[in-house]
């Protein structure tokens, strides 16, 4: 896979105000948009070590959205552990009504079981989803006047999904939540401008779960 890259926030195709790192997130400005519901009221304040990590992630994630005046989060759902965890954390932090899930399989390659898992979890958590196979989009990458390597094709799939996620984020004025875990980040296992592209990745930084 490509080497690790830094993430930049773009909004509606234009350079956006630089958002601040997660660990510096603080209380929301006075003019931040209010959500219909306050998920913090229902979050169990677990005092165990795992509970403390969970509570910290939730509070920092919520504060990050509030500080940067965003309400909507966009997540690519694969049906796997990492995107499922990201979805649950996001729902607990900013509310299911503020999350958009994108299920972007490649028909013939993506397991139907993974698609089913992604759909069922989103439905269970009350999250709106968009389903769109990427087959028609990635085929053009094979029509170039050179023969793309298998590595190039793999990275093109990841980048195609990233383009769609940011299309959703720009359309609904939201932030893309990354789903890479900390081990992947440290190993550089991912696609630059692809699955590593995100406005915020709470699984892969700070006090997070290791894979």
Q: Are 53 and 89 in contact (CB under 8 A)?
A: no
Averages of pLDDT over each 10 residues, the chain, 211 residues: 36 38 35 44 61 90 96 97 95 97 97 98 98 96 94 96 98 96 84 92 57 41
- CA-closest candidate to residue 98, choices 38, 12, 31: 38
pLDDT of residue 11: 39
The whole-angstrom separation of Cα 103 and Cα 49 is 33
pTM above 0.85, yes or no: no
Over residues 160-185, the pLDDT tens digits come to: 999 999 999 999 999 999 998 888 88
Task: Please give the pLDDT value at position 163.
Answer: 98
pLDDT digits (tens, 9 = 90+) for 36-48: 445 445 555 555 7
| Burial class of 194 by CB neighbour count within 10 A (0 to 12, 13 to 18, 19+) | buried
Q: What is the pLDDT of residue 140?
A: 92
**Distance of alpha carbon 154 from alpha carbon 194, whole angstroms:** 10
């Amino acid at each position: 896979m490509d080497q690790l890259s830094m993430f930049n926030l773009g909004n509606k195709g234009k350079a956006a105000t630089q958002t601040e790192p997660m660990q510096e997130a603080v209380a929301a400005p006075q003019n931040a948009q209010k959500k219909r519901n306050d998920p913090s009221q229902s979050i169990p304040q677990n005092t165990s070590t795992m509970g403390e990590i969970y509570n910290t992630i939730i509070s920092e994630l919520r504060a990050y959205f509030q500080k940067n005046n965003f309400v909507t989060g966009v997540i690519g759902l694969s049906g796997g552990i990492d995107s499922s965890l990201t979805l649950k954390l996001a729902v607990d932090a900013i509310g299911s009504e503020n999350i958009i899930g994108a299920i972007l399989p490649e028909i013939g390659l993506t397991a139907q079981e993974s698609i089913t898992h992604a759909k069922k979890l989103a439905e269970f958590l009350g999250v709106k989803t968009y389903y769109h196979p990427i087959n028609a989009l990635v085929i053009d990458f094979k029509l170039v006047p050179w023969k793309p390597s298998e590595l190039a094709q793999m990275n093109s799939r990841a980048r195609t999904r990233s383009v769609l996620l940011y299309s959703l984020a720009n359309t609904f004025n939201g932030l893309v939540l990354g789903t890479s875990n900390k081990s992947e980040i440290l190993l550089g296992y991912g696609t630059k401008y692809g699955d590593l592209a995100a406005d915020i990745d709470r699984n892969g930084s700070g006090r997070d779960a290791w894979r």
